[in-house]
Amino acid sequence: MADTGENLNAKAGPREILPGVLVYPNPEEVARAAARLFVDYAWQAISRFGQFMVALSGGNTPRAMFQFLASPEFRGQVDWAKVHVFWSDERAVPPDHPDSNYGMARRELLLRVPIPLSNVHRMEAEKANIGRAAHDYEEVLRQYLELDDRGFPRFHMILLGMGADGHTASLFPGTRVTRQTSRWVSTPMVAKLNARRMTLTLPVLDAALRVVFLVVGAEKSEILRAVLLGNADPPYPAQMVQPRDDGSKLFLVDQAAAALLESGTLQTASSPNDKAPGKSRPNPGRNK
3-state secondary structure (DSSP) of residue 237: helix
- In order along its 288 residues, the chain shows pLDDT tens digits of 334 444 444 455 799 999 999 999 999 999 999 999 999 999 999 999 999 999 999 988 899 999 999 999 999 999 999 999 999 999 999 999 999 999 999 999 999 999 999 999 999 999 999 999 999 999 999 999 999 999 999 999 999 999 999 999 999 998 877 778 899 999 998 877 788 999 999 999 999 999 999 999 999 999 999 999 999 989 999 999 999 988 999 999 999 999 999 765 444 444 444 433 233 333 333 333
pLDDT at 272: 47
Residue 103 falls within a domain, yes or no? yes
Give which of 275, 278, 173, 180 is closest to 228, Cα–Cα.
278
Give 118's Cβ-side CA count (13 Å radius): 4
The domain that holds 168 is classified in CATH as: 3.40.50.1360
CA distances, 155 to each of 45, 51, 169, 244 (Å): 10, 11, 15, 12
Residue 28 falls within a domain, yes or no? yes
Residue 275 falls within a domain, yes or no? no
pLDDT at 1: 35
Give which of 27, 23, 5 is closest to 261, Cα–Cα.
23
In the chain, which ranges are continuous DSSP H helix?
A: 5-12, 27-49, 60-69, 72-75, 101-108, 130-144, 202-207, 221-229, 237-240
3-state secondary structure (DSSP) of residue 184: coil
Q: How far apart are CA 180 and CA 257, in angstroms?
A: 32
Residue 212 falls within a domain, yes or no? yes
Residue 197 falls within a domain, yes or no? yes
Give which of 168, 189, 172 is closest to 242, Cα–Cα.
168
Give which of 151, 173, 154, 81 is closest to 118, Cα–Cα.
81
Considering its fold, how many domains does the chain have in total?
1
Q: Which domain holds residue 78?
A: 18-261
Residue 276 falls within a domain, yes or no? no
Give which of 22, 14, 50 is closest to 156, Cα–Cα.
50
What is the dihedral sign for C-alpha 40, 65, 21, 242? negative
Residue 274 falls within a domain, yes or no? no
Residue 6 falls within a domain, yes or no? no
